[in-house]
Amino acid sequence: MVVGDFAIELDTVVIGAGPGGYVAAIRAAQMGQKVAIVEKEFIGGVCLNVGCIPSKALIAAGHKYQDSLDSTAFGVTSENVKIDFTKTQEWKDTQVVNKLTKGVEGLLKKNKVEILRGEAFFVDENTLRVMNDDSAQTYSFNNAIVATGSRPIEIPGFKFSERVLDSTGALNLPAIPKKMAIVGGGYIGSELAGAYANLGTEVTIIEGLPSILNGFDKDMVKLVERNFKSKGVEIITGAMAKGSTVTDNGVTVKYEAKGEEKSLDVDYILVTVGRRPNTDELGLEQAGVKVSERGLIEVDEQGKSNIESIYAVGDIVPGPALAHKASYEAKIAAEAISGKKVAVDYRALPAVAFTDPEIASVGLTESEAKENEVEVNITKFPLGGNGRALSLNATEGFVRLITTKEDNVIVGGQVAGISASDVIAEIALAVESGMNAEDIALTIHGHPSLSEVVMDAAEAALGMPIHM
Ligand code: FAD
């Protein structure tokens, strides 16, 4: 092992190369700083390697398979449809994940960010040690941005194994399972339930709360539940998963629902009950950084921890664990340490579930508006009246705008339906920039497009809908 006995000086060191870390590093470099990024496993972090991106690839594969099996509405019939899952996985890994992570590595290099492969450990509030199998080197820094992300939570009775999977295991199965139980019906569990159900797996979701997709409006969740039902996905809510037993050719999950103990034999159990922040093996205590009981680093509105030189972003700070939140916070933190007067504002932070149909929300929901005593009008416009949705044979869903009673300012919105993940962006822009319904109504939207439903909803909010 080579041990560097002198400290290399850096302006800024970023720890972790996920959507928080790599974005922070690039932005700090763009602002003129000498930056290094430390990564112990994979450039791109959880999101690009074992999260957002590979899950969307499998979801897309499921949709292709379903469309191949049944496109009779378009007059297209098919015979003998087959899926070669080895090829699906190969495509996901080589053409999607590797391409994207190589691209990010290229961007870091282009911006002259030094990539340090190894595990980072704080020595004190201005010193970091980076270790790998071959070397150990000390770095001194003016500022550090910690972006070490999170890992799946393991629960008692469900030790991760070949049959009891975390999300990473579920994304990398060698073959499509016949039967799968999913413990936890949050957005990760529901997205993977949809992907495998579309690929032909018999899926059962075991959820402790009264509903899956907790946090999303009920009318959106209902659409997803109905779709699950049509694919034979069983949803057991108010159920406690009790334990698992690996058998010769599968695994049994025990759970309690409505006071009764039940069990289910499946090929795999996927456990997605939440994620734990990676703040426990970083030496944060040596740097004096305060960590909450849940392992989160409390930060101010620029991402600064209780220690002047140390910032934190992404899954290790409070708020929803989402990639776009991590990247947003990363830009703010990088700009703040570069002397720019910036602060986070989460007003327009979207949440998306890539279920069937997709559901998305930004800003206030109707109930949040009530809780905050904001007087609002609620306008819901169905996708069924949209030409583009009809031509795609995907009319299920709606756009809802939440506008202030006083002056029609758009303070929130929800979208359910095909491409909700994209359509929500216009409402996010409106919320972020304080637009009112008239601004949207006056914006010329390309025809025919799903985005026209946002314009229709805005016109409806103004009491003058053309298409309703
Ligand atoms: P991470 O992406 O977790 O990156 C942290 C990096 O830090 C890792 O590469 C890790 O190796 C490295 N690291 C940790 N400790 C050290 C150390 N001591 N030294 C050096 N390096 C270290 N979010 C969305 O917004 N949309 C989605 O559709 C979505 N889908 C998801 C699907 C799945 C299956 C999962 C699991 C997650 C999904 N997420 C999604 C959540 C998203 O992946 C995370 O919110 C996001 O990755 C957080 O980014 P981050 O930069 O904070 O951390």
Q: How far apart are CA 43 and CA 161, in angstroms?
A: 25
| Per-residue pLDDT tens digits for 257-266 | 999 999 999 9
The catalytic residue among 324, 445, 447, 467 is: 447
**323-337 pLDDT, tens digit each:** 999 999 999 999 999
**CB of 225 closer than 6 A to ligand 1?**
no
For CATH 3.50.50.60, the residue range(s) in the chain are 2-151+276-346, 164-273
Residue 1: which pLDDT band, with cuts at 50, 70 and 90? very low
Pick from 157, 159, 152: nearest CA to 256: 157
Separation of 262 CA from ligand 1 center, angstroms?
35
> Does domain 357-461 correspond to CATH entry 3.30.390.30?
yes
* Of 421, 323, 416, residue with least CA distance to 52: 323
Quick one: average pLDDT of 230-242?
A: 97
Question: Which structure tokens are listed for 167?
Answer: 């999300």
- Ligand 1: which residue has its CA nearest to atom 15? 148
What is the domain class of 164-273 according to CATH? alpha beta
pLDDT, mean of residues 380-386: 95
User: Is-catalytic flag, 63?
Assistant: no
Mutate to test the pocket of ligand 1, among 105, 116, 119, 148 (most ligand atoms within 8 A of CB): 148
Question: Tell me: the pLDDT tens digits for 138-168?
Answer: 999 999 999 999 999 999 999 999 999 999 9
Q: Where in the chain is the domain with CATH 3.30.390.30?
A: 357-461
Chain mean position to CA 66: 24
3-state SS track over 341-400 = CCCCCHHHCCEEECCCCCEEEEECCHHHHHHCCCCEEEEEEEHHHCHHHHHCCCCCCEEE
CATH superfamily of 2-151+276-346: FAD/NAD(P)-binding domain (3.50.50.60)
* 398 pLDDT tier (thresholds 50, 70, 90): very high
Q: Which of 390, 389, 391, 384 is nearest to 423 (CA)?
A: 389
pLDDT of residue 309 exceeding 50, the answer is yes
